[in-house]
Amino acid sequence: MSKSPIYWNKAKKILVKKDKVMAKLISNYKDGFLITRNDVFFSLCKSIIGQQISVAAANSVFKKFEKKCNGKINPKIVNKLSILNLKSCGLSKQKAKGIKELAKKLISKEFKPQLIKTMSDEEAIEYLSELRQIGKWSAEMILLFTFNRPNIWPLQDIGLLRAISNNYKKRYFPPKKFLNKLYKRFSPYCSVATWYLWRSIDDEPIQY
């Protein structure tokens, strides 16, 4: 059975006191929490697949990708697949190349995810962003879902921005000044606030 991150319950108590909207969301989804998958390659593949497409489309492509890997998504299996194989799942050529290159770099140990544990959020984002097809958004998803970082505020995430607009009655795109205000209010638990805001617009909790 999955356990909540060690900071989760403390974060909820603090966010409830700091913000009325957050208090309402935490009350609505009180039994849920961020599920961590301790598998960097799996999560990176999922984040690459999910770039710039809807959650429904990403889930559809990912299911085909998983089937192509015979249910075992790991670098050795993915490395054996051709770009054509990967494209047949619904991946663009660039995304297919990104996933292939990631598999190769993990096999060769050119990419060492264990180093991320010793890095600050900013350092980790920079390190992850050196990988093909991994930009700031994907790096933030990895820090949030794989490394359980508590203070990730992914402002390139369309779902988060839409949830902020809906819950705080702001126009879309929310003003930068207001986003910075929320960041200061929610720190050092922006990851928790992000998860609850996502829940407010998606029936199923997001996972990477």
Question: Do 30 and 78 share a domain, yes or no?
Answer: no
Answer with the one of 123, 145, 167 that is the final residue of a domain. Answer: 145
To 5 degrees, how large is the angle CA 139–CA 140–CA 142? 65
Residue 207 lies in a domain: no
- The tens digit of pLDDT for each residue in 3-32 reads 888 999 999 999 999 999 999 999 998 878
Question: Do 17 and 80 share a domain, yes or no?
Answer: no
Residue 3 lies in a domain: no
How confident is the prediction along the chain (208 residues), in pLDDT tens digits per residue? 468 889 999 999 999 999 999 999 999 988 788 888 788 999 999 989 988 888 889 999 999 999 999 999 999 999 999 999 999 999 999 999 999 999 999 999 999 999 999 999 999 999 999 999 999 998 999 999 999 999 999 999 988 999 999 999 998 889 999 999 999 999 999 999 999 999 998 877 666 6
Range of the domain at 157: 8-35+152-199
Answer with the one of 126, 145, 164 that is the final residue of a domain. Answer: 145
- R_g over Cα of the chain: 18
Question: Do 100 and 117 share a domain, yes or no?
Answer: yes
Express as a percent the part of the chain with pLDDT over 90.
77
Question: Do 18 and 65 share a domain, yes or no?
Answer: no
Residue 130 lies in a domain: yes
Question: Do 62 and 131 share a domain, yes or no?
Answer: yes
Residue 65 lies in a domain: yes
User: Looking at residue 27, what is its pLDDT?
Assistant: 94
Instruction: Give the CATH number for residue 86.
Output: 1.10.340.30
Query: How many structural domains are present in the chain?
Result: 2
Instruction: Give the CATH number for residue 181.
Output: 1.10.1670.40
Residue 169 lies in a domain: yes
- The tens digit of pLDDT for each residue in 66-90 reads 999 999 999 999 999 999 999 999 9
Residue 78: what are its φ and ψ, rounded to 5°? -65, -35
Question: Do 44 and 65 share a domain, yes or no?
Answer: yes
Residue 204 lies in a domain: no
Residue 135 lies in a domain: yes
Residue 208 lies in a domain: no
Contact yes or no for 97/107 (Cβ under 8 A): no
Contact yes or no for 73/41 (Cβ under 8 A): yes
Q: Is the dihedral of CA 169, 33, 73, 97 positive or negative?
A: positive
Omega cis (within 30) before 173: yes
Question: Do 134 and 166 share a domain, yes or no?
Answer: no
Question: Do 121 and 175 share a domain, yes or no?
Answer: no
Question: Do 54 and 139 share a domain, yes or no?
Answer: yes
Express as a percent the part of the chain with pLDDT over 70.
97
